[in-house]
Amino acid sequence: MSDELPGSDLPNAPEAKPCAIVVQAKQLFGEHREIVIEYEGERYKLRITRRGKLILQK
């Protein structure tokens, strides 16, 4: 079974564009366990829990 989309080998087939960018958590957090994200004038806290989960709070 192939991972390619049907028709992706056609010469005029458009390339699939990613739906989102991927950012590694280490790039955002560095050595910290919490960051603040400002979006449309509101601040949100994104933190890594002791169990390694991500929590986003307003």
Domain boundaries, the chain: 25-57
pLDDT at position 31 over 80: yes
Pick 2 or 40 by higher pLDDT. 40
Q: Which residues pair with 34 in a beta bridge?
A: 47
Q: How confident is the model at residue 54 (pLDDT cuts 50, 70, 90)?
A: very high
Distances (CA, A) of 17 to 21, 22, 33, 42: 10, 13, 32, 30
In percent, the amount of the chain with pLDDT more than 90 equals: 66
d(CA 13, CA 4): 12
Q: CA 15 → CA 18, 19, 24, 50, distances in Å?
A: 10, 12, 24, 40
- Please report the pLDDT score of residue 50 as a whole number: 96
**Average pLDDT value for the chain:** 85
Q: How much is the pTM?
A: 0.63
